[in-house]
Structure 1
Amino acid sequence: MTTRFGTAASRHVVSNLQKAGFEAVFVGGAVRDLLLGKVPTDIDIATSATPGQVKKVFRHTVDIGIEHGTILVLAPEPIEVTTFRTDVTYSDHRRPGEIAYTTSLKEDLQRRDFTINALAMTLDGELVDLFGGQADLEARVIRSVGNPYERFGEDALRILRALRFSAVLNFRIESETLNAMKQLAHELGHIAIERIKVEIDKLFQGVNPSKAFRYSRDIGLPSLFPELFSSFEQLERCAPFIHARHGWAAMLSIRDVSATELAHHFKLSKEEKRFLKQCEEALKLRTDRSFDELDVYYFSLDVLDVVERIRHAQYADGSIETLEQLTKRKSSLPIQTRADLAFTGTNLLEWSGLRGGKWTSEWIEKIEQAVVSGRIENDAQAIKEWFVYEISRKE
């Protein structure tokens, strides 16, 4: 196979390294994606040059991972360049505790996780495939490079990476690789939850996460780590997901935990926690009834859509609303935000003759809800008449 690969910036980096007398190739996921007919992203370069030598070739660099042989070259587009290396030891079941640089591309590729990721391409577009990666891509197979027990023993997170790739690529996992995953699945207990969460995020966004859920059961993850993977027993019926947060919301609907507990356990971001708490509230409402106009007003379309999808997956009762229907309902509301109301707090003081206080915010909310639900028109005079009448009844 011969093709022109890489962006202008990445080709510039490879070309300059070669001119300086070093071997340099494109590696990893970008090469895999090209062979799958996808537009390559996150282009990485591997080279025989050491980090110090890379820095001598290029004037503008950043030491983003120099301890592991990686330099960011600003060309001006940022390009990651990593020195060919062999991992000598693994100190924490995740990261190599010691690495050794090598000038051999083969040694560098054979330390990678799966054959489909152990691919390289030259500046001239020649594919370097030393471990049958292209054949496995064509067969839609995930297979470890070399001995799978060694690969997963070096880095237990690769077990989750295999599950993730099965979901993202909709590939099957080769039997010996799967058996090694089962035998070594307990090693995931050594992996930081932040690393696990990243893989689950990507898994949720795959085209077929159900495949990964089934493999997770095959290797015993729900029984080994129930606090992490017990939901995987039931998540299949909620898949596929429109984004990673949809997956977490589905997990919330299945597990007997609160949004706060789930967010804390998996160290979700503040934004993810906020989204889950909104989904939690909306799911409780949706259990008893369909969303009313106030629900459509207060919750974002994303929350409404996700909850409707979860409801449909769990009950398939045919009464759910599509995103298109929800969007139409939301856009047809009398107001979209409180700022759209045809009055202000100052108007309330004028109409009531009272001093300001907590009561004003309470009445603004009452009027807001009355407008949204269609009980009064969003018109200053109509609001005034309604307010004066209602407040007089409270006195």
Structure 2
Amino acid sequence: MSYSFGTTASRGVVSKLLSAGYEAVFVGGAVRDLLLGKEASDIDIATSATPAEVKEVFVHTVDVGIQHGTVLVLFEGEPIEVTTYRTEGTYSDHRRPDEVKFVRSLEEDLRRRDFTMNAMALTLDGSLIDPYGGKKDIDNGLIRAVGNAEERFREDALRMFRAIRFSSVLGFSIEESTCRAIDLLANEIRHIAAERLKAEWDKLFLGREPLQAFQYIHETGIGLHLPAYPDELMTACMHRPFQTPMDGWAAFLIAGNLEPAHLARAYKLSNVEKAFLQSIHSAIQIRERRFYTNIDYYRFGERVLLTAESIFNCLHPGKASIEMDEIRGGIAALPIRSKKELAMTGNDLLMWSGEKGGRWVGVWLDKIEQAVILGDCRNERDEIKEWFLHEFERER
């Protein structure tokens, strides 16, 4: 069976390398996705040509990772990564191989890859090169390490978590000997940088079967060695795919009874991501006591409240829920969405009161903001003035 594959530019790159007397094939996740019936992205090309030889074939190139054999070829307006066949040494820093050796054999190159489904290649005429049975494993829904699983995971411990991530993304099972190797080497995941783990978590949360991934985390014991992994996790929150990675992080936070700052620090989340988790945490605490009010609609906004309500419903399936339309309607009905929308400014307070500036101005702006949100006065300048003068005089 032959497959049609690649963009016009990527096929042109392969064709030019072949014409120059080198081997060149499509490799990696794009080939896997083709067999899965998914649209291929990030098309990679592997070749028997060394980086120097690749640069001789093409006029426009960029040395994006030449020490590891990768040259970016700019061809017909498209950037295409071309990597020389290679073998790798040990990963003493648990991130990059200590030594890369360029080889002329495609099979040697495929042997260094993590899983059989990622160790396939496709020729320009559409022939599949599959020395390790990747297509059969895809057909059977299996994630299997190439060769000896322990060796693959000792080379790069992140591969263990990648196997678990793929179980979520593809809904595949992890092959028995591969799973045993994760169990045996689980503690090695401690050496992997938080940023690399975070990137895998993001993809895991977007997978079709996140609950299956969490079951593997539990069964293999790798959770004991992951940063900020809870002793107990309410898996009811993890049973469905998430719309965004942060929805997954939010469910993980609440289901694991974790502190936002601790989780954010453990995985080096951005300030924006940390703020989102803190808002989710606060919203859930409020929701445990009561329904949301206008102040909550104003403070948290739609994204936080919809996510929090979804998590709350998973935690408390028997309790009354707030419909999404009700949350959206409550937010839409707010008289203002931010303090900037108030029909007056701090300068108005100075003029109305006859007082000098000071911290009191900010305090009263907060009070006016709340009064407008709660409907104590409308967001009209004269009405705010009347309300302010009455309350200001009363508190003197």
The residue that corresponds to 2:67 in the other structure is 67
The residue that corresponds to 1:299 in the other structure is 300
Secondary structure of the equivalent of 2:213?
helix
Amino acid at match of 1:164: R
Where does 1:205-354 land on structure 2 (aligned, <5 Å)? 205-222=206-223, 224-225=224-225, 227-230=227-230, 233-235=233-235, 237-240=237-240, 241-255=242-256, 257-354=258-355
CA distance in structure 2 between the partners assigned to 1:138 and 1:371 by the alignment:
61
CA distance in structure 2 between the partners assigned to 1:370 and 1:265 by the alignment:
40
Secondary structure of the equivalent of 1:320?
coil
Query: Shift of the alpha carbon at 1:231?
Result: 5.5
CA RMSD of aligned residues (A): 2.0
Q: For the structure 1 residues 233 and 286, does the alpha-carbon distance in structure 2 shift closer, same or farther, using more than 3 Å as the test?
A: closer
Of 236-245 and 380-389, more deviation after overlay is shown by 236-245
The residue that corresponds to 1:39 in the other structure is 39
The residue that corresponds to 1:11 in the other structure is 11
Query: Shift of the alpha carbon at 1:255?
Result: 4.2
Q: For the structure 1 residues 23 and 265, does the alpha-carbon distance in structure 2 shift closer, same or farther, using more than 3 Å as the test?
A: same
CA distance in structure 2 between the partners assigned to 1:213 and 1:203 by the alignment:
10
Query: Shift of the alpha carbon at 1:112?
Result: 0.9
Q: Deviations over 1:30-71 (max 9, x none)?
A: 111121111111111111111111222223322222221112
Q: Between Structure 1 and Structure 2, how many residues are aligned?
A: 394
Contact 1:213 1:232 in 2 (8 A): no
Contact 2:88 2:97 in 1 (8 A): yes
Amino acid at match of 1:43: I
Query: Shift of the alpha carbon at 1:85?
Result: 0.8
The residue that corresponds to 1:112 in the other structure is 113
CA distance in structure 1 between the partners assigned to 2:46 and 2:322 by the alignment:
50
Contact 2:301 2:331 in 1 (8 A): no
CA distance in structure 1 between the partners assigned to 2:9 and 2:199 by the alignment:
28
Is 1:161 the counterpart of 2:162 in the alignment? yes
The residue that corresponds to 2:363 in the other structure is 362
CA distance in structure 2 between the partners assigned to 1:143 and 1:191 by the alignment:
21
Unaligned runs of 5+ residues in structure 2 are none
Query: Shift of the alpha carbon at 1:84?
Result: 0.7
The residue that corresponds to 2:27 in the other structure is 27
CA distance in structure 2 between the partners assigned to 1:323 and 1:77 by the alignment:
43
Query: Shift of the alpha carbon at 1:378?
Result: 1.6
Q: For the structure 1 residues 285 and 357, does the alpha-carbon distance in structure 2 shift closer, same or farther, using more than 3 Å as the test?
A: same
The residue that corresponds to 1:57 in the other structure is 57
Query: Shift of the alpha carbon at 1:169?
Result: 0.5
Contact 2:339 2:369 in 1 (8 A): yes
Query: Shift of the alpha carbon at 1:143?
Result: 1.0
Of 266-275 and 167-176, more deviation after overlay is shown by 266-275
Query: Shift of the alpha carbon at 1:370?
Result: 1.4
CA distance in structure 1 between the partners assigned to 2:229 and 2:16 by the alignment:
47
Contact 1:201 1:244 in 2 (8 A): yes
Query: Shift of the alpha carbon at 1:134?
Result: 1.3
Secondary structure of the equivalent of 1:212?
helix
Q: For the structure 1 residues 234 and 93, does the alpha-carbon distance in structure 2 shift closer, same or farther, using more than 3 Å as the test?
A: same
The residue that corresponds to 1:201 in the other structure is 202
Contact 2:116 2:137 in 1 (8 A): yes
What TM-score does the superposition give when structure 2 sets the normalisation length?
A: 0.93
Amino acid at match of 2:296: D
Secondary structure of the equivalent of 1:73?
strand
CA distance in structure 2 between the partners assigned to 1:369 and 1:272 by the alignment:
27
Contact 1:115 1:143 in 2 (8 A): yes
Secondary structure of the equivalent of 2:369?
helix
Q: For the structure 1 residues 324 and 123, does the alpha-carbon distance in structure 2 shift closer, same or farther, using more than 3 Å as the test?
A: farther
Q: For the structure 1 residues 25 and 227, does the alpha-carbon distance in structure 2 shift closer, same or farther, using more than 3 Å as the test?
A: closer
CA distance in structure 2 between the partners assigned to 1:94 and 1:380 by the alignment:
60
Amino acid at match of 1:82: T
Unaligned runs of 5+ residues in structure 1 are none
Secondary structure of the equivalent of 2:217?
helix
